[in-house]
Structure 1
């Protein structure tokens, strides 16, 4: 059973606060400016993403977002909501199923699938949806803090 959560008041959940089924999500609109910012950050200027004239002649019939741009929205969930601040990606696999287009809103959803208390590693099911369509899915392993640092005076 899933249990939807918001960001922890401290900024992040520690290992003992997590349980299988916890879910968090974030909706992110995709526009031409975001695609261009990602192209600049990644140095990936594939014309399929940045040139409408080129992209309109492809099987996609228009520009599409970088797959890794859509996948990166899950990073915002992991780093800011679940598990949140202090968690760090160790690995991730992602399968892409449908293109994301300008004007789409991608909902990044992360669900706790398994917890290894010995290693403080958590397995997360990761999905990207546009409406009801799954555009990407996969799994990530993250390390989660065991305890919070005391507040500085």
Structure 2
């Protein structure tokens, strides 16, 4: 059973609050600006992402978004919703199934697969969809805080 959650009031879930089946989603539009900013941030100026004349002659028949741009949307969910603030990526596998284009809207779904109380790590299923088509998926291992930091005041 999937238990769709939103951002925790504190900004992040701690280890004891997580359980198998918890899930979070975020919808993110893929825009020209996002692709340009990602190219700048990653130093990846592959013309298949940036040059329509070049990209139109490839198997993709036009520009596509960076695969890791779409994957970074998963990081947005992990870092801000589930588990949220304080969680740290340990590892991530990825498989890309279909290209993402400017104008597409990506739905990211993160679902808790397992919780390890000894290591304070959770295993997360990470999926990205455009409309109902699975465009990427993988498994993340994330370290999660055991307790909240005391409030300032």
User: Mapping of 1:40-79 within 5 angstroms?
Assistant: 40-79=40-79
Q: TM-score by structure 2 length? A: 0.99
Helix, strand or coil: the match of 2:94? strand
User: What residue in structure 1 maps to residue 109 of structure 2?
Assistant: 109
How many pairs were matched up?
153
1:1-37, Cα deviation, whole Å (9 max, x unpaired): 1000000000000000000000001000001111011
User: What residue in structure 1 maps to residue 4 of structure 2?
Assistant: 4
User: What residue in structure 2 maps to residue 86 of structure 1?
Assistant: 86
* Whole-angstrom distance in 2 between the partners of 1:152 and 1:59: 55
Following TM superposition, the consecutive aligned residue runs of length 4 or more in structure 1 with deviations greater than 4 angstroms are none
Q: CA RMSD in A?
A: 0.4
Q: Aligned-pair distance for 1:86?
A: 0.4
Gaps of 5+ in 1: none
